[in-house]
Amino acid sequence: MPARFAGPKSVPDVRALLGDAFHSVRATVADDNPDISLKTCGRIVTEALKFVVTAARFPERSIVPSRVVDEGWHALILHTRAYRDLCNGLGMFVHHTPERPNAGRFCPEVIGRTTALIEAAGFAVDSELWGDPTRGLAANVAATCQHSDDGGPIVIIPKRPSQSA
């Protein structure tokens, strides 16, 4: 049974929010990225979880995932039951609206704002996974979309009281 989120201190390992589904989500990232180690795929899913938790915790803030972290978010979304349960536990459904990749939209300031908010949520940031989409690990992931910070790609929908678990 996945953990419910009451704050970073209540879940020392954010992976616990997925329970056993973490391994399946990590396998999806690995299947789509055969040149990336299973350990790194786990790091990608972990950062995606931190991102989704932060988006739900700060719905008024415009944040974006890096291209690498977005790869983990895609895998989460493909596991619909696990993603639904995650969002239900967070009290918000974090929607994903992809945009076509465009390295010209990469904005270090926006990524910096996003990672600062993840830290404000109480998580340590794996900075290697938040870099320029044209270099390093980011240039090798299978993700074919990117996000801008105009508020369009990420839409937070709070649960109505009648939707409580």
Q: How many helices, marked H, and strands, marked E, lie in the chain?
A: 5, 2
Residue 160 pLDDT exceeds 50: no
In a domain, 78, yes or no: yes
- Cα separation, 120 vs 58, whole angstroms: 10
Task: Report residue 11's pLDDT band, with 50, 70 and 90 as the boundaries.
Answer: low
- Please compute the mean of the pLDDT values over residues 101-122 and round it to a whole number: 82
In a domain, 152, yes or no: yes
155 phi, psi to nearest 5 deg: -120, 125
In a domain, 44, yes or no: yes
- How many structural domains is the chain composed of? 1
Residue 135 pLDDT exceeds 70: no
Do the beta carbons of residue 49 and residue 55 sit within 8 Å? no
In a domain, 163, yes or no: no
What's the residue count for the chain? Answer: 165
* Distance, first Cα to last Cα, the chain: 14
How confident is the model at residue 156, as a pLDDT? 46
In a domain, 140, yes or no: yes
How confident is the model at residue 29, as a pLDDT? 96
In a domain, 1, yes or no: no
Predicted confidence (pLDDT) per residue in 12-67, tens digit: 689 999 999 999 999 999 999 999 999 999 999 999 999 999 999 999 998 999 88
Residue with tokens 């990608």: 44
Residue 146 pLDDT exceeds 70: no
Exposure b/e, 10-22, CB count within 10 A at least 16 = b:
ebeebbbbbeebb
- Cα separation, 150 vs 85, whole angstroms: 27
CB hemisphere CA count around 88 (13 angstroms): 13
How confident is the model at residue 104, as a pLDDT? 59
What range defines the domain where residue 105 resides?
8-158
Q: Which residue has the higher pLDDT, 5 or 23?
A: 23
Identify any residues that bridge with 94 across adjacent strands, giving them in sequence order.
Answer: 156
Q: Which residue has the higher pLDDT, 119 or 2?
A: 119
Tokens of 111: 């990524």
In a domain, 3, yes or no: no
Q: Provide the whole-model pTM.
A: 0.79
In a domain, 2, yes or no: no
Predicted confidence (pLDDT) per residue in 57-107, tens digit: 999 998 999 889 999 999 999 999 999 999 999 999 998 877 666 555 667
Q: Residue 149 CB: number of other CB atoms within 10 A?
A: 18
